[in-house]
Amino acid sequence: MPQFTRAELESFRDAVVPDLLGPGLRLLFVGINPGLWTAATQTHFAHPVNRFYPALYAAGIITRPIQPTGMSDEDRAHLISRGVGISNLVHRATARADELSRAELTEGGAALQALVRRERPAVVAIAGITAYRTAFGLPKAAAGPQPPDLIGDWGEAEVWVVPNPSGLNAHETVASLARAYAEPARAAGLL
């Protein structure tokens, strides 16, 4: 497992982690923005206590474990082969999501919709209800599938809001995340 000092992690502030996209994209998971560990390892949702990859494995979305501390090229290829992609609402790395401005989230939401129209996944799963509400101006939005008439131009994609897998989201477990992530995966035809 990689080890980083606080100073090393801070050196990745504002770095960008490229989207993970490939042919046959069916399900696009969207984080809020990269954390410093994610930027350091160039792996979305990377952190020793992040439950994203264990939850994908428990749900059957991926068929082999991926370590939450950093992905190999084989891990990336496995996700792509399963029809799974990963992006973010905002692409610059911060220590905490609350460092992002409302304007950044709104601009990121518009850019995400353009990405979805271009890449055409069947389903988009946004991990984080508060960021979703802010990015799209929907203060009363609830988790789960989003009503198509309220959410703007996503092309043909269904939009879901799912729990954020960060260790800061303490009331979620790998099992509860797996159940939540399995729903949009079924809608995308992956399960």
SS3 assignment for 15-50: CECCCECCCCCCEEEEECCCCHHHHHHCCCCCCCCC
Contact assessment for residue 116 and residue 147, using Cβ atoms and an 8 Å cutoff: no
**Looking at the domain assignment, is residue 44 inside a domain?**
yes
**Looking at the domain assignment, is residue 5 inside a domain?**
no
**Looking at the domain assignment, is residue 131 inside a domain?**
yes
Question: Can you give the pLDDT at residue 118?
Answer: 97
Contact assessment for residue 20 and residue 79, using Cβ atoms and an 8 Å cutoff: yes
Amino acid at 36: L
**pLDDT for residue 135 is more than 90:** yes
**Looking at the domain assignment, is residue 15 inside a domain?**
no
Question: Can you give the pLDDT at residue 44?
Answer: 95
Residue 176 sits in a domain whose CATH number is 3.40.470.10
Return the residue matching tokens 């801070």: 10
Contact assessment for residue 54 and residue 174, using Cβ atoms and an 8 Å cutoff: yes
Domain range for residue 157? 21-187
**Looking at the domain assignment, is residue 79 inside a domain?**
yes
Amino acid at 110: A
pTM exceeds 0.75 for this model = yes
Neighbours of 91 (CB within 10 A): 17
Tens digits of per-residue pLDDT, 161-190? 999 997 666 689 999 999 999 999 999 999
In the predicted model, what is the mean pLDDT of residues 90-111? Answer: 95
**Looking at the domain assignment, is residue 31 inside a domain?**
yes
**Looking at the domain assignment, is residue 10 inside a domain?**
no
Q: Which of the four pLDDT bands, split at 50, 70 and 90, describes residue 152?
A: confident
Q: Which of the four pLDDT bands, split at 50, 70 and 90, describes residue 1?
A: low
Q: Which of the four pLDDT bands, split at 50, 70 and 90, describes residue 143?
A: very high
**Looking at the domain assignment, is residue 13 inside a domain?**
no
Question: Can you give the pLDDT at residue 34?
Answer: 96
Please count the structural domains in the chain: 1
Question: Can you give the pLDDT at residue 167?
Answer: 66
Q: Is 130 exposed, middle or buried (0-12, 13-18, 19+ CB in 10 A)?
A: middle
